[in-house]
Structure 1
Amino acid sequence: MIEAYYQQLIKYYKGYLRDIISGKPFTVVVLRGEKSKPATTVELHRAIALFRQNEKTAQRRGWTIAWEDWSSKKLGKQKWVSTIIVDTEEDYLDLLQKEEEAAAFKSQLQILLDWQPAIQPFLMDKPERVLDLKTVWNDLQKVVDHLLAHDVSDHYIRSIPVPVHTKFIEAYRPILFSLLKAIAPEKYSGSSTTLDELLSLKQKPHLYPIRWLDRTIAEQFMYGMEVTGVTVDWLKQISWDIKEVWLVENETNLYLIPERKNAIAIFSKGKAMYSLKDVPLLTKAKLFYWGDLDEEGYKMLNAMHGYYPNNLQSVFMDETTLLQHSGEMGKQDAVYKTTSLEHLTREEQAAFNILKYHNGRLEQERIRQDYVVEVLGKIL
């Protein structure tokens, strides 16, 4: 088959599958004729032979060709292809050699519609799902049936008692989310954007590593453990009388801070910092924030200034630190888009402006250790 015509036929295929799902009869396919005509008799005969290879006859399926008269100064009066028409579904599938695939599609589709007629819009959106998910449809049906019949809000995603392996629901989160929304829109009518939200599943708590910078209070509160992990809910409940809290965005830095009296350090693991809002312990203590010297780091610093406007200061995020290490500054992958960080101090804003101008970033690991020791030693 001529490749250009095969590609035209393929473009109709998804629409053909949608028609099957919706129950519409086959739509006749009309293909565009060739605009450029042969220049020689040899080319003309070769082209016509190619068209006739797939022409429908009494003995075989194929397309129907509409011919038009064509007068050429060089070739004289000739016939040329005007339009190619595919009249029937059988002809269409034969041309694409998709008879078996279409039969499998219809068979699987009927199984799914018999199971849940409301699944039709889900399949119409992406008809390829019918066969792409063929090997897992049985398990998907089991999971959906269970979720529709049971409240699972007291479970974590991998503890839901369904007859599939524990990673199955995790692997097919988006598919299950869309299926449930399509099948039971009245039950799942909220603004949830994930399966976990849709089912109100319990979430694995985020643990913030804490290092005690004062061994005395480590003995007092944690039986001498220097490092432990806590949840933000637990942090909000405790009433320790802590003088200093160091918030760091790099785990290595958690262990670079020297011992300090009545102080702890918390590794906030990037954007998890945003959860550390309205924590009484952080409201009462003096806060030091040591983040990444890039766009995201200063956005988080700005947010923390907004959360704790009266007791937070940054370390190693000022203009002096940046200029001292200008030779180590690299490029941020994405272009800076942030235009306003209203809570930054003048020194922090100056550093951010330099970084934004150069689309730069300074990795915390590239700050000299002797400089770190010197600056930390001056903080009383």
Structure 2
Amino acid sequence: MITSAEIKKKALRKYTDYLRNVAAGITFQQIEIPCNKKASDTIAEYQREFYDIRSLSKEVKGYGYTIEWKTIKNKMLGTQDFPSKITFETADDFERFLQKVKEVADFRKNVALINGKFSKLQHWIEKYPQKVIDNSEDWNNILKVLDYFSKNPLPKLYIRELPIEVHTKFIEQHKAVISELLDIVIEEYVDKNEKDFEKRYGLRYDEPMVRMRLLDKTLATSYFSGLDDITIPVSLFLKLKMSISMAYIVENKVNFLTFPPVAKSIVIWGKGYGVASIKDSELLKSTELIYWGDLDAQGFEILSQFRSYFARVKSLLMDKATFDKYFENDLGTPSKINAKLNLTTEEEELYSYIKTNNYRLEQEKIPQSYVVEKLKCRFV
């Protein structure tokens, strides 16, 4: 025979659908709980089960589930009463049995509150009623946030700067639910390609930084009051404009720091695959570009990636002669890239050779004198 605990478990499974109907304004219809479980084989067990199920019924408690009994003659138990149908006949019976009266009352209040401000959230409420409940105490503040963004989409402020009357950490602590709602409330302004909250909704954030050195003192004096080692947020670097002849992008920090002087030129620390962050740079669209990476599979793969942003990129010291001269039998990281890369014929041949053997020549192992010599020979 079904137990009162099993009835509660099955009733809880129907609770979400009940909330959906409440949110949709659908009149309550009685809820039936399947009760076709076989009774135990001993009279003692039957009596225990009988009194258990009856003890929490509406017949005894005045609320809860209603039991329809059917008298059956059982070979083991004799003639006994068994439940043939269990139902919750009213919303009050259902809520009181589950001890959800206050929760449902708050849910109704919050549904009205939300819909009063943003009727377009009705579908979300019906789909995720538990989320309305999980944030029961926070809806006034959540709605303040939504109201601000609906009037000021893409505000270009840090979260802590937003002039919303909620405590400073509220948005940060409720990003998940606020994000779902903003996707609906300001749908036309949302950058759906971004998962990061700040980027998705046009806020300022702690950006990655771009570090560059000015290799010509004249440039440093003209643009940065003589400063020649500059670190700025990506968004500002992308807008940067200077009159230069060449921009070098190097993979590793040591080579960035020791890059020799070159007239009308700058060097940027690419940080490996970090080159993606500067692909929309105004400055790089209008100057010659040289990329210098490690002589390993990843170095050429980064070169190919960078060349996909700027087709005119040339490589520096990523040739067979340099490799043969300074290679010390070091091994690299195996590459899983199988796609055709954007490399010259010579680069492709060296890449294939290095990748097949998992060889690696790091930039730092190329002497500074050799770097200076090649720069003078080729680009200065």
Q: TM-score, normalised by structure 1?
A: 0.72
Residue of structure 2 equivalent to 1:348: 351
- What displacement does 1:122 show? 2.9
- Is the Cα–Cα contact under 8 Å of residues 328 and 361 in structure 2 kept in the other structure? no
Matched, 1:311 2:313: yes
Residue of structure 1 equivalent to 2:33: 31
RMSD of aligned residue pairs (Cα, Å):
4.3
Residue 134 of structure 2, aligned match among 132, 137, 149: 132
Specify whether residues 312 and 191 from structure 1 end up closer, same or farther in structure 2 by C-alpha distance, changes over 3 A only. same
- Is the Cα–Cα contact under 8 Å of residues 303 and 315 in structure 2 kept in the other structure? no
Partner SS, residue 92 of structure 1: helix
Residue of structure 2 equivalent to 1:233: 238
Counterparts of 1:2 and 1:323 in 2: how far apart (Å)?
76
- What displacement does 1:52 show? 1.6
Counterparts of 2:361 and 2:354 in 1: how far apart (Å)?
17
Partner SS, residue 366 of structure 2: helix
Residue 250 of structure 2, aligned match among 247, 258, 268: 247
Counterparts of 2:47 and 2:119 in 1: how far apart (Å)?
52
Counterparts of 1:310 and 1:111 in 2: how far apart (Å)?
58
Residue of structure 2 equivalent to 1:258: 258
- What displacement does 1:349 show? 4.8
| Post-superposition CA distance 1:20-65 (Å, at most 9, x none) | 1111122322222253442333322222222222222165212123
- What displacement does 1:288 show? 2.2
The range that moved more, 139-148 or 174-183, is 174-183
Matched, 1:373 2:375: no
Specify whether residues 20 and 138 from structure 1 end up closer, same or farther in structure 2 by C-alpha distance, changes over 3 A only. same
- Is the Cα–Cα contact under 8 Å of residues 274 and 300 in structure 1 kept in the other structure? no
Specify whether residues 324 and 310 from structure 1 end up closer, same or farther in structure 2 by C-alpha distance, changes over 3 A only. farther
1:333-344 aligned within 5 A: 339-344=338-343
- Is the Cα–Cα contact under 8 Å of residues 290 and 317 in structure 1 kept in the other structure? no
- Is the Cα–Cα contact under 8 Å of residues 54 and 60 in structure 2 kept in the other structure? no
Counterparts of 1:191 and 1:154 in 2: how far apart (Å)?
12
Partner SS, residue 129 of structure 2: coil
Counterparts of 2:353 and 2:52 in 1: how far apart (Å)?
71
Letter in 1 for 2:238: D
Residue 115 of structure 2, aligned match among 113, 116, 119: 113
Residue of structure 2 equivalent to 1:13: 15
| Post-superposition CA distance 1:54-100 (Å, at most 9, x none) | 22216521212344566655445544444322221111112211222
Residue of structure 2 equivalent to 1:49: 51
Specify whether residues 94 and 175 from structure 1 end up closer, same or farther in structure 2 by C-alpha distance, changes over 3 A only. closer
Counterparts of 2:306 and 2:220 in 1: how far apart (Å)?
26
Counterparts of 1:167 and 1:282 in 2: how far apart (Å)?
40
- What displacement does 1:217 show? 5.7
The unaligned stretches of length 5 or more in structure 2 are 375-380
Partner SS, residue 245 of structure 1: strand
Counterparts of 1:37 and 1:316 in 2: how far apart (Å)?
81
Partner SS, residue 156 of structure 1: coil
The unaligned stretches of length 5 or more in structure 1 are 356-361
Letter in 2 for 1:111: L
Partner SS, residue 268 of structure 2: strand
Partner SS, residue 35 of structure 1: coil
- Is the Cα–Cα contact under 8 Å of residues 212 and 266 in structure 2 kept in the other structure? yes
Give the percent of matched residue pairs that are identical in Structure 1 and Structure 2: 19
Count of residues in correspondence between the two structures = 353
Partner SS, residue 28 of structure 2: coil
Letter in 2 for 1:273: A
Counterparts of 2:352 and 2:137 in 1: how far apart (Å)?
55
Counterparts of 2:308 and 2:67 in 1: how far apart (Å)?
72
Partner SS, residue 20 of structure 2: helix
- Is the Cα–Cα contact under 8 Å of residues 68 and 79 in structure 1 kept in the other structure? yes
- What displacement does 1:209 show? 1.1
- Is the Cα–Cα contact under 8 Å of residues 283 and 308 in structure 1 kept in the other structure? no
Partner SS, residue 33 of structure 1: coil
Q: TM-score, normalised by structure 2?
A: 0.72
- What displacement does 1:377 show? 5.5
- Is the Cα–Cα contact under 8 Å of residues 317 and 348 in structure 1 kept in the other structure? no
- What displacement does 1:300 show? 4.6
